[in-house]
Copies of this chain bind each other. A is one copy, B any other.
Amino acid sequence: MERIEHHASFGGRQEVWRHTSAALGCEMKFGIYLPEAALRGERCPVLYWLSGLTCTEQNFITKAGAQAHAARHGLIVVAPDTSPRGAGVPDDAAYDLGQGAGFYLNATQAPWAAHYRMQDYVAEELPALIERHFAANGARGIFGHSMGGHGALVTALRHPGRWRSVSAFSPIVAPTQVPWGQKALAAYLGEDRAAWKAWDAVELVQAAKERLPLLVDQGEADEFLAGHLRPELLRAACAAAGHSLTLRLHPGYDHSYYFIASFLGDHFAHHAKALGED
């Protein structure tokens, strides 16, 4: 494991690390913000951010303004890349399949199955690595944007007890029902649609054993709202299942990091409260 970037930031430090992932069979990078308390060795909760299509570990750490909030609440924030990477990893020319589009699942189909195990990476390998090497206290929250909002919801719903808090910006809530999701699920999991349901938040919430409250922010001027995101499907599923959901629709806001930055403070407050750091 090698540290390849470090920058003082809001009294703490933003770092980027490179390591070899066993789950993914390739080199991976992740960003990690260490608040001042963590630099002193005090153990802190960890909040995991999952980015959207085409992103790397850089987008969130450079564009969201997250460090100010992480410093204020004393939270470590980890932002992994969105897929396996490298010359030996299968790819596709489209932006919404292959490298940059891992969809936070474990693929079962050729040529993807060998490397595309992002669910194992974000739910297991990465938290274990972080808790071994940094001043983490074992409390975990997870959030993300778009494909990463899907990733956060699905990862939390699939692993009851592993996460204390979850939230999402502009998530793909029902990949089995929208073009981005259907393309990815068909490629990574094959044509048997029954297998897709294990990676769909709207499906998972209906059978959820744990009632982790969901916080979702969505811009109403988001160009992908009607085609790919469809938060009304999550609202209906949560209502039917009696699952707590705070869904906020924001007039005028789009799909960009300008939207994320505008409401990120509320998400940090949501997670900090659950993680015991408010």
Contact = CB atoms under 8 A, between A and B. Distances in A.
Interface of A: 7-11, 14, 62-63, 65, 67-68, 219, 221, 250, 252-254, 256-259, 261-262
Interface centre among A7, A65, A257 (most CB of B within 10 A): A7
A8 B252 contact: yes
Nearest to A65: B65
24 contacts: A7-B253, A7-B256, A7-B259, A8-B221, A8-B252, A8-B253, A8-B254, A8-B258, A8-B262, A9-B258, A9-B259, A9-B261, A9-B262, A10-B261, A10-B262, A11-B262, A62-B63, A63-B63, A65-B65, A65-B68, A65-B261, A67-B261, A67-B262, A68-B261
Copies of this chain = 2
Contacts of A67: 258, 261-262
Nearest to A62: B63
Nearest to A254: B7
A115 to B, nearest CB: 31
Contact of A62 (B62, B250, B252, B253): B62
Contacts of A62: 62-63, 257
Contacts of A63: 62-63
Contact of A8 (B7, B65, B259): B259
Contacts of A259: 7-9
Which 5 residue pairs spanning A and B have beta carbons closest together?
Answer: A65-B65, A7-B258, A8-B252, A9-B258, A8-B253
A8 B261 contact: no
A164 B219 CA distance: 37
Contacts of A253: 7-8
A9 B262 CA distance: 6
Contacts of A262: 8-11, 67
Contacts of A256: 7
A167 to B, nearest CB: 19
A132 to B, nearest CB: 25
